[in-house]
Chain A
Amino acid sequence: MATNVSSVYIQVVDDVISKVRDDFINYGAGETALNELQAIWEMKMMQSGAISGTIDRSSTQKNAAPITPVHDLNVPYEAPVEEYETPTAEMLFPPTPLQTPIQTPLPGLDSGMYNIPTGPSDYAPSPITDLRNSMDLKGGRPSPYTQPLSPWINQRPPLGVDVNVAYVEGREEADRGPPHQATTQDFFVNSSGKRKRNDYGHGNSGGYIPQQDGSGDMTIEFSLPQNVVNQVQKSSSIRHDQGTATSKMLFNKEGKPAPVLHQLDGTHDEYDDLFQLQGVATENYNTPGEHVELRAPTPAVGTPKPGKDEAGEDDEPPLNEDDDDDDDELDDDQEEEEPNTQHLVLALFDKVTRTKSRWKCTLKNGIMHLNNRDILFNKATGEFDF
């Protein structure tokens, strides 16, 4: 059949409009509202691609005829202006109606014979998916961790902990029992790297060396109490003067490892700390010499792993981010396969039979929406394998 889908749709539109015209007039809504409805309806259909751009009204001039003379009598531009202006103005509202119709705001619609067991989700895949997307995007994974870290960091600079990383390292281990601090430190470093620099800049007393590469200096030491003891002894001997001061500062620092460690590059803080002896060069902002000295004793520690493990676990917090990712992927996959709306066939059935796992059905008078295209049929036969 050469019956174009668009022409069928246009005939339906005209048929509906003509049949409700009396209702509009009797109800008092008027022909203006009716024309407005027709204009909006056709515009939406053109936008969605249901009908082609050119509306062929040759077969349905009867409806248009009475209207045109009216326009001729009046100012010719008034009518089209009204028709086009109001729709455009009302086009501002579409976002809301997109969702409302799904909920069947008009009473009595649900009382129809046609129940949709599949649920309301079919009506508006787009808004639902939009909601999903927006909600998923708000997962906000890394951000929440940065804020709590800031207060700690701010407190550190006044301490002038720069005194010596070695000292700090040794002290920290002795003072800190729980590894939690170490792990938290990692977070601090990563998130507040920039702040640390600034803070250091203020409190730079020469000994302050903003560490750009590894923040795990302190953490590593925590995990190795034995080595730390040795180191502490060493460091204390090296920094006799600063010993007491540093010790105090170290205590304070326990809770504020952040200022010491500016980690810009990676999550393997502990590695950086261990290898700091040579890694000092990476610190561009401070005199590497001092750092080297400070770090000298630390390299002896060769067992950062336990600390690392703990830190590693913290680095991978149970945010359950993957859960949402999977859901998103599934949704996206479905959306990719079904652009705009999912492929849908609406029809009447004459017979549905099944033999073992082979299903057969005969359908009538259906509208198919496949691959973003509308197809109408009078009869259809289906054979499915379950």
Chain B
Amino acid sequence: MATFELYRRSAIGMCLTESLDEMVSSGTLSPELAIQVLMQFDKSMTDALETQVKSKVTIKGHLHTYRFCDNVWTFILQDATFKSDECHEQVKRVKIVACDSNLLTQ
């Protein structure tokens, strides 16, 4: 089953990537094994987001840039507002990267 490497760009994903990089550089780990770990991370992260998270967010803002390439939408918003039960954030500039959810089920 193919995985979305999307979440590797998150904070948790970057920490994992850096840790794996250190270990591969020091020779403690083989690159192939590191790839396996990352792929497992993709799956685990997707499952966790699917099952453990139950929050809804609304996003409003000015669309500065939109791009759809290789089934990936990239939006750049300006003066955006994110609202949910837990949070109310406002940012001057935010990038949204979204992969096609239908591809996962294929």
Say yes or no: B5 contacts A109, CB within 8 Å.
Answer: yes
Most buried by B among A97, A349, A370, A380: A349
Say yes or no: A96 contacts B25, CB within 8 Å.
Answer: yes
When chains A and B are docked, how far (Å) is the Cα of A117 from the Cα of B42? 19
Say yes or no: A342 contacts B95, CB within 8 Å.
Answer: yes
Per-position contact with A for B56-72: 1 when CB-CB < 8 Å, else 0?
11111111001111111
Does chain B have a CB within 8 A of A320?
Answer: no
Q: Give chain A interface residues in 367-384, CB to chain B under 8 Å.
A: 367-371, 373-384
- The interface stretch among A5-13, A133-141, A169-177, A300-308 is A5-13
Q: How many residues of A contact B (CB 8 A)?
A: 85
Say yes or no: A109 contacts B38, CB within 8 Å.
Answer: yes
The smallest C-beta distance from A375 to any residue of chain B, in angstroms, reads 5
Q: Which residue from chain B places its CB closest to the CB of A381 in the assembled complex?
A: B58
Q: Which A residues are CB-close (under 8 A) to B62?
A: 384-386
A-B pairs with CB below 8 Å: how many? Answer: 290
Q: Which of A8, A113, A359 meets B48, CB within 8 Å?
A: A8
Say yes or no: A386 contacts B92, CB within 8 Å.
Answer: no
Does chain B have a CB within 8 A of A350?
Answer: yes
Per-position contact with B for A72-94: 1 when CB-CB < 8 Å, else 0?
00000000000000000010011
Q: Which of A9, A115, A352 meets B12, CB within 8 Å?
A: A9
Say yes or no: B56 contacts A377, CB within 8 Å.
Answer: yes
Given contacts A90-B22, A349-B101, A361-B73, contact A382 B58 (CB under 8 A): yes
Binding site for B on A (CB under 8 A): 1, 3, 8-9, 11-13, 15-16, 19-20, 23-24, 27, 29, 33, 36-37, 40-41, 44-45, 48-50, 90, 93-94, 96-98, 100-101, 105-109, 112-118, 122-123, 334, 337-338, 342-350, 352, 359, 361, 363-371, 373-386
Binding site for A on B (CB under 8 A): 2-12, 14-26, 28-38, 40-50, 52-63, 66-75, 77, 82, 84-87, 89, 91-101, 103-104
